[in-house]
Each structure stands twice: as C-alpha cells, then as structure tokens.
Structure 1
Amino acid sequence: MTDIITIFHIILESECGRIKFRQKGKMADFQEISKDEFKRLVNFLKFIAELDINEHKIPQSGKTSLMIKNQELVMRVSTLPITLMDEVVVIRILDSLDKRPAESLFINKDEFEFFKDYMRLSQGLILFTGPTGSGKSTLMSNLINEVIKEGSRQVISIEDPIEYEIDGMVQVEINDKANISYESLLRGALRCDPDVLMFGEIRDKTIARELLRASLSGHLVFSTFHSKSAVSTISRLKDFDLYDEELKQSISLIINQRILHTKSKSFIIYEYLTASDVNDHLLGRKVNYRTLDDRLLTLKNEGHLNDEEFSYYNQKFK
C-alpha cells in the first residue's frame, strides 16, 4: 500500500494563496498562486463538490471526483472560514477500495487475519480510534467490504459525507440542509432490518448511547472515535455519561491505530482491547496488551523501520 490518503491544503497568506500537500505524513509546498486565483479556485472546488458557493461563514464538507488518465479520483472537499469572506480548503484524495486487497493495509497478512473472527460476530460494538488521518475510515470501510462479500447480511451505513461508495450496502448521507439529525437517521436505519450498522463517527453522548443500545439489541455496529490510545477510549466514553455495565456489555473490540510511512511503503499499525480487556480495565484490573510502542519496537527489530523512522514515530506517538 502506498499513501492511504493524499491531502492538499489551499491556504491564504497575506500577499498570495498557497497550495501545499501532505506526503508520507509531512507537509510540503506545491505552488504559490495569486489572491485572485485563490478565490477562483476555492469557488470552483466548492461548486464541483456541491457546496454552497455563497456561504462563507460556516465550515462545509462535500465530495466530488475527477477522471485523470482513465482513473477516477474521489475527493473529499472541506472548507474552513478564516475571515468574513475568505476560507481555506482541504482536499483528501481517497483510495478506491477495489484497487488493492485489504491485506495490503498492513505490513503482513496476519495483521488483517486478526479481524476476521470479529467480522463474523452477530452483535457488539467495534470502535476504530486514533487521531485525524490515522486511517480509521479506510480500515473500517475495508472490513465492511469483507462483510459484504459474504453476502448473507444486510449492511447500512450513516456517513457525513459518504467517503467510499461500496456496492452491496445501503449508504445514507447526512443532509444538513434538510435539517435531518443523526439521531433520527440512526433510529430510521435500525427500523430497516440491518444486521450490520456502520456509523461514520461518534461525536456526542447522544450518538454514543444510541450506538451502544443498537449493539445490545442484536446488531453488529462499527464506528470511529477520536482518542489517543485504546485505554483512553474507555475514559472518553465514560465522559459521555455511559455506565460501566453498558460498556462491558456492548464493546467487542477497540482498535487504536496509526499510519506509518517508510521509504518502501505506508501501512497501518494498531493496538487493541478485547471485550475481556475492557471488562478488566473497568473492574480496576491490570490489562496487559501490546501497545503501539511495543509494535514500533517489533517493527524495528524485524527490519521494517530504520533507526531514524523508529525515533521519529516513537516521539510522535507520545
């Protein structure tokens, strides 16, 4: 797997606009443009992503695609207001899930094989956690794709926006303009007989509680969540006023992940807590599990990371 996501930043400086990109996790300059070119480029991107061109005061997010050399590039376009009439734009170019086997997300096949038993569960909550840009949605969508290939379960997703269009599942996109809430869509989806529910991101206590209830009522639920580590995910969920017993009964797996970029390839590494680990942690027992630091050291000892790469990521994950 090469870079999972390519990100372009279109920003405004005092005398000009500037286009930057993120390659292997690091920012680099691409091109300087005039202020007039900046404004026209921002309006064009908002237009093709079906955003409101006349709205400059609130963040917006949409999606579009371009054909380049017979290859479709799917782009997520996000805007952020910086002054009364100006905004910056971030473009994420998303990988197509059918371009590569899911195993290639990892340094070896066993890393992917670990998930297969969890994909067969009939109920429970599986959380993909980590900071922005750690590949949570990419991994979750790839695993959902594996569930769909079995062909025996109904899968419904609720996303904002839909990042990967996947055949074989019902995908529902949040529509802010129609004033349709997350809660109403979630409850509506649960009335449509899903076996598996994918919810883009847990953002507040209401959604967290609804997803826990869904996982306890006979559904396998996937979602993403921002947290620094697998263990801190439990603390953050408790901050949402969720009870220990609810967490014990609902959580099947917590994945906390990062993307590593080496000279030869990019791949995901992860630490995880099982349902038993979550239960032990909530009861105050010591939980022994392989942390991200442990995995970094293993990769270094196996020759997948050189000294410079190991030192960089060891500091970055602190």
Structure 2
Amino acid sequence: MKNKIIDILENAKKGQATDVHIILESDCGKVRFRQKGIMKDFMEITKDEFKRIVNYLKFIAELDINEHKIPQSGKTSMQVNDEELAIRVSTLPLTLMDEVVVIRILDSLAKRQGRSLFLNDAEFDFFKKYMQLSQGLILFTGPTGSGKSTLMFNLLNEIVKEGTRQVISIEDPVEYEIDGMVQVEINEKADISYAPLLKGALRCDPDVLMFGEIRDKAIARELIRASLSGHLVFSTFHSKSAISTLSRLKDFGLYEEELKQSISLIVNQRILHSDAESFIIYEFLTASQINDYLMGRQVEYANLNDRLISLKNEGYLDHEKFIFYSQKFQ
C-alpha cells in the first residue's frame, strides 16, 4: 500500500492539490483531490484497497488502527520524489467498522510565500508592523482553507527571526515546524487538552502566545485575558467577515469593553483561483475601527468585494470568475 499512497500523493502534488479525500461508496472506494478549492475525482480503488490504505495511513500517522468509532487526526511524512512531504491524516467514522480519510498536504512556509498566493511586499510590511506590539489580540479569520493559518505563521516567523522574544504556540496538531518557537501539541488521547496547556504556557514567560483556533467562549475569554496582561496573542477564528467576527465574539458572552481593550487587529481573508494564478484577498479592521464599530459609529474600510473588484479591474480575474466569487461572498 505504501507505493499506492506515494503514487496518489505524487499526483496530488503535480495537480497542486491541497487535500486528498479517500472515501467509500457502495461498490468501491474513490480518491478525490481538492484543487484550487474544487473537488475532482482522481481514481477508483477496490474496497479491499480502500481498507488497506486506511489502515496504513492510520499506522504511519500513529493513530489507533483498531478504533473506528471516533474521529482521529495525526501528522506524519512520506518520501515523494526525493521530497519529504509532511501530511496530516484525519479520519471520520461512517459505520461501525468503516471510516473515510482526508490527507492535508502541509507545504513548508518557504513554499507558501510566493507572490501569487501570498501578499506583496507592501501588504506584508503593513501587517508586519503589528508584530512589534507588546500586547494585544490579533485574529486571523475566514472559512477553512482560506490561508489564515499560513499568514499567521509567516508573520510569527518574522518575530522568531528577530530572536528577542519568547514565542510559544499551542496547536492541534503542529502544522509548520519553526526553529526558535516553542510549539506544544494538544493531545486529547493523552489527556493533554487546551485548558491546562494554555495555563501552563502563560506560566512559562512568553512574550508572544499563539493559540491555533478559538473554538469556544472559554478559550476566547482566556486569550483576551492574556492579551490584557501584557502578551501579544495570535489566534484564528471561523467567521464570514471582519465585522461578523465581533458579533460572534459578543455571542460568546464577551463584553464590548473587553473587545475594545484587547483586539488590535482582525484580518478576514479568502483564497481565489484564476486559471493562471491564486491570490489571497483580505479585509481588516484596526483597533480604532473596532472601537468605532462597537460604539455604533459608521466604519469605512476596503472589504472583500472591494478587493475582488480591484483584481477584476487589474485584469487578474475574468468576468466569469468575478461573478463566481461575488456570489460566493454573499
């Protein structure tokens, strides 16, 4: 099965796929790639091949092969065309004995810094200014697959390269390994969950704290407290827009005054794909804009649709793609 999986990953890399889905249908298994945000069929496999591929992937990712009732996730690597390819393996139960597997291909940070996918120098330098803050909460928001973690880690890497501040991250799992950063992995199986890890990290004298994702109000409140107590805090959050991020945090029971005092920047972004290139578009709210919005004042800023129009006017998106993404952002 190893050679079969290597062949699948080799083709996924050639097709610039971000994810490989290995699913079970009524009479066979199927391998599908996510390419430029769209799911595409790659190949069919027999049911026997499906089971053997799933078991092999669970084995190399150090998951429990005999556990089929709960979702599992782990990280590993495979040698593909003289490249050590980092992958994340996630399983999801279907029935008593069957499950599907999704492989996320984890490119290194260096490979994710190209102009077409990432930001240009002026845009990146703008966000780098916020890395100099001594405290505050910086949120990177958007749906799954919007590149928010990649942007966050590239900016964190700038802090690490300075070498003057202690940076601690709490992740589930660790996706980008960065020398000079203390990276701690949540491990629910070993009863190492986010709550004690966060408290422990704050006792270890961090200047900068990164928490992988805000998933509930308890974590949101703890990160706000950390940002108000002299730490620069980074995290990601699922939200439709920069403005809706504030609404969702208020739904968590957080007070407006806490949000005003703690949040320094909210970035909301998407990845767009043209026939030739891929782009990140983003909108952001600064601390003063956040304060104005929460005070009920009118806030003007370049939103995602404004960025989309700019790409079309500059000739990067044709009319068909422009309409597609305009409707998608509604």
TM-score of the superposed pair, with normalisation by structure 1 = 0.96
Q: Distance in 2 between matches of 1:252 and 1:211?
A: 13
The 10-residue stretch of structure 1 (4-13 or 176-185) with the greater mean CA deviation from structure 2: 4-13
Correspondences of 1:223-242 after superposition (within 5 Å): 223-242=235-254
> Runs of at least 4 residues of structure 1 off by over 4 A?
2-5
Match of 1:39, SS state, is helix
1:181 aligns with 2:193: yes
**Paired residues, what number?**
317
Match of 1:295 in 2: 307
Encode CA deviations 1:194-231: one digit per residue, 9 max, x unaligned.
11001000001110000000000111000000000000
Match of 1:207 in 2: 219
Distance apart, 1:108 and its partner CA:
2.8
2:93 is matched by which residue type in structure 1? P
Distance apart, 1:62 and its partner CA:
0.7
Encode CA deviations 1:223-264: one digit per residue, 9 max, x unaligned.
000000000000100111101110000000001110011122
Q: Distance in 2 between matches of 1:95 and 1:5?
A: 11
Distance apart, 1:173 and its partner CA:
0.2
Match of 2:183 in 1: 171
Q: Distance in 2 between matches of 1:30 and 1:305?
A: 27
1:93 aligns with 2:105: yes
The 10-residue stretch of structure 1 (199-208 or 304-313) with the greater mean CA deviation from structure 2: 304-313
Match of 1:93, SS state, is strand
Segments of 5+ residues of structure 2 without an aligned counterpart are 1-13
Contact 1:131 1:226 survives alignment (8 Å): yes
Encode CA deviations 1:66-102: one digit per residue, 9 max, x unaligned.
1222212110111111111111111110110133547
Where relative contact order (Cα < 8 A, 6+ residues apart) is larger, the structure is: 1
Match of 1:67 in 2: 79
Q: Distance in 2 between matches of 1:37 and 1:170?
A: 39
Tell me how large the CA RMSD over aligned residues is: 1.5
Query: Alignment partner for residue 62 of structure 2, among 40, 44, 50?
Result: 50
Match of 1:304, SS state, is coil
Q: Distance in 2 between matches of 1:138 and 1:105?
A: 10
Structure 2 CA distance for partners of 1:26 and 1:154, relative to 1, 3 Å = same
The 10-residue stretch of structure 1 (67-76 or 193-202) with the greater mean CA deviation from structure 2: 67-76
Q: Distance in 1 between matches of 2:169 and 2:98?
A: 33
Correspondences of 1:31-42 after superposition (within 5 Å): 31-42=43-54
1:268 aligns with 2:277: no
Distance apart, 1:109 and its partner CA:
2.3
Q: Distance in 2 between matches of 1:3 and 1:187?
A: 42
1:161 is matched by which residue type in structure 2? P
Q: Distance in 2 between matches of 1:250 and 1:205?
A: 15
1:41 is matched by which residue type in structure 2? I
Distance apart, 1:106 and its partner CA:
2.8
1:27 aligns with 2:42: no
The 10-residue stretch of structure 1 (154-163 or 173-182) with the greater mean CA deviation from structure 2: 173-182
Match of 1:151 in 2: 163
Contact 1:106 1:269 survives alignment (8 Å): no
Distance apart, 1:4 and its partner CA:
8.2
Segments of 5+ residues of structure 1 without an aligned counterpart are none
Structure 2 CA distance for partners of 1:5 and 1:246, relative to 1, 3 Å = farther
1:80 aligns with 2:92: yes
Contact 2:16 2:35 survives alignment (8 Å): no
Contact 1:3 1:265 survives alignment (8 Å): no
Structure 2 CA distance for partners of 1:110 and 1:100, relative to 1, 3 Å = same
Distance apart, 1:6 and its partner CA:
1.1
Contact 1:5 1:92 survives alignment (8 Å): no
TM-score of the superposed pair, with normalisation by structure 2 = 0.93
Q: Distance in 1 between matches of 2:204 and 2:284?
A: 31
Q: Distance in 2 between matches of 1:70 and 1:146?
A: 29
